[in-house]
Amino acid sequence: KQEVTQIPAALSVPEGENLVLNCSFTDSAIYNLQWFRQDPGKGLTSLLLIQSSQREQTSGRLNASLDKSSGRSTLYIAASQPGDSATYLCAVSGNFNKFYFGSGTKLNVKP
């Protein structure tokens, strides 16, 4: 069974810092990797999706990379802002889009 691990579990940084969130997975036979954001008491908002044939995706201040062979992905957030405070979830899927999620990284950006 696919196991997804996210490190760190929690992170607190001052506003303006660049930061990296890590995700690792045990089975490299994936089709998609998707990063989500979850605000307290809310559902999941998709941030970036990387197909297995891709190495990275960028959206604004966010950049996600994928190293499928080593089972790793990173989410880079540039110039962090207090509004970035949320839990960030990494999920990988094989066929049929059945996703396996990590437990998330809870980010707090201090003003």
Partner 1 sequence: GAGVSQTPSNKVTEKGKYVELRCDPISGHTALYWYRQSLGQGPEFLIYFQGTGAADDSGLPNDRFFAVRPEGSVSTLKIQRTERGDSAVYLCASSLTPDRNPYGYTFGSGTRLTVV
Give residues in contact with partner 1 (CB under 8 A).
4, 31-32, 34, 36, 41-46, 49, 51, 89, 91, 95-104
CB 104 within 8 A of CB 47: no
Length of the chain in residues, anyone? 111
Q: Name the nearest CA neighbour of 28 among 68, 61, 73.
A: 68
45 is written with which tokens? 């908002």
